[in-house]
Amino acid sequence: MEYSSTALIAITAALVLVAVLLVWLSLTMAAVEGAVARVTRSNLNNLILEVQTDQEIGQLMRMKRIDRIHKVQRLIADRHATVGGCSFFRVACNVLDGVIVCGIAALYGAPLWAELLAGLVFALAVAVVAVLARPRNPGAPKPAETLIRHAGMATVAVRLTPFARLGSQKAKKRLADLSDDEELEKIQIEQGRAAIDRLVETNGFDPEVSEMLRNVLTLSETLTREIMVPRTDMITIDRAATLEDMLRLCSRSGFSRVPVIGEDVDDLVGVAYLKDAVRATAFNPASKDRSVESIVRDPMLVPESKPVDDLFHQMQRSRQHVAIVVDEYGGIAGMVTIEDAIEQIVGELEDEHDRVQRLEPVKVGERTWRMPARTPIAELEELFEVDIDEDDVDTVYGLLTKVLGRVPIVGASAVTRGIRLTAVDSAGRRKKVSTIVAEPAHVEADGEDGSTKEPRRPAADEAGQDAAGGKE
């Protein structure tokens, strides 16, 4: 069909205008697509409150803005459908741009190969502009404002793409039990992990730093109960013990913070600090006979279901390095320290003494052996030619713990099967017993299992393990 020059120019101008509008629509859809993943219902509720209390805008403008915010609330109610609809229109606009350029080339009688080449080149040019301009970034600084500004356009896009909802049904089932904020946090964590993986793949990023970044992203998924020291491993001291008992216990265990209890662990009185005990006795030796209850501090209590990142920030704000973990029934579940949270990021904190755990048993006397606490019971049986036959423990440390009936600290000793086990060294941040000396006991057994326990020590020696660790 032949067109007059005036008609040809008019048609060309109209097609160019449509192509420009499609490019703008594509970039706008990309901005909305990026903003949807950054806005929560709480953000929008706060915006509504701000608009309702803003005295500088008229009633008509206030109602219009609130109506737009309500549209945005409906959009983020199904994020996957909204993102799917915007993505479809963004891709469709890029394709239509190429088709329009092909049509313009055909108007001027270009051969078929030239039409296709013109459409392809223009489509590639639009793609390059999209990459250079990073169309999703406009939604990053103020995602809520971006969504409010383009709420009407996004709503139309979602209504015209009902098939986008089909792809979101599976995702809805996976996230059915999550709140809006939790769903958004899950999306952001997955995006963060993907970004870290891409950085690592470039080989220009320190693997150890990348591992720490991954660990930071998992802090919100890790609960306090997963990192705490359980109540069975807590070192505690009786409220009736003296400051001298407290100093002795801290010296033997290596801890500087010890929970003070009454009748049992659930009867928590507070936490005693080595600094306070030293301050009270350094210039007044007679005060060593004072009760340890006189220096206790109020404990920081946290639920065992608390996420580690929240725990870390709470301990920072309250300037507490140790907290007592409480279960759902109000009982003491364990103890946790700020170092336990840090270990979730940087990995296990070990000191120069931890190499002891990887040594072999050493003979130090005629029938006396010095061995790491993790030495298997089978090896102890072989060295002393006895049959210990303990199914519920696997290591020498576990055997000593079972015979004592409590967590051993340095100096603790017990006899079983004619073998005396004595804890002689501790290591690591939590000061767990690292070395045990095994030797013939030459005593009569007084139990069915042939074991003899050492006499009960004062309250200050009652063991369980303080996760606080860390000498001050």
Domains of the chain, CATH where assigned: 5-174 (no CATH), 225-346 (3.10.580.10), 352-461 (3.30.465.10)
Range in 44-48, 136-140, 214-218 the model is least confident about: 136-140
At residue 170, the pLDDT reads 52
Between CA 27 and CA 36 the distance in angstroms is 14
Tokens of 443: 């005593």
**372 vs 431, residue with greater confidence:** 372
Between CA 394 and CA 25 the distance in angstroms is 67
**At CA 274, angle to CA 413 and CA 458, rounded to 5?**
35
Q: Which amino acid is at 359?
A: L
Query: Per-residue pLDDT tens for 459-470?
Result: 334 333 333 343
Is 51 within 8 Å of 144 (Cβ atoms)?
no
Going by pLDDT thresholds of 50, 70 and 90, the confidence category of residue 130 is: low
At residue 324, the pLDDT reads 92
186 pLDDT higher than 50: yes
At residue 350, the pLDDT reads 60
51 pLDDT higher than 60: yes
Is 205 within 8 Å of 197 (Cβ atoms)?
no
Between CA 77 and CA 177 the distance in angstroms is 14
Query: Per-residue pLDDT tens for 214-252?
Result: 777 777 778 888 888 888 778 889 988 999 999 988 887
At residue 122, the pLDDT reads 82
Between CA 443 and CA 125 the distance in angstroms is 90
Going by pLDDT thresholds of 50, 70 and 90, the confidence category of residue 187 is: low
| pLDDT, average across residues 167-178 | 50
Query: Taking all residues of the chain, what is their mean pLDDT, rounded to a whole number?
Result: 77
444 pLDDT higher than 50: no
Closest to 76 in 3D by CA, of 169, 147, 176: 147
Query: Per-residue pLDDT tens for 264-300?
Result: 888 889 999 999 999 988 888 888 889 998 899 998 9
Range in 32-41, 175-184, 441-450 the model is least confident about: 441-450
Going by pLDDT thresholds of 50, 70 and 90, the confidence category of residue 184 is: low
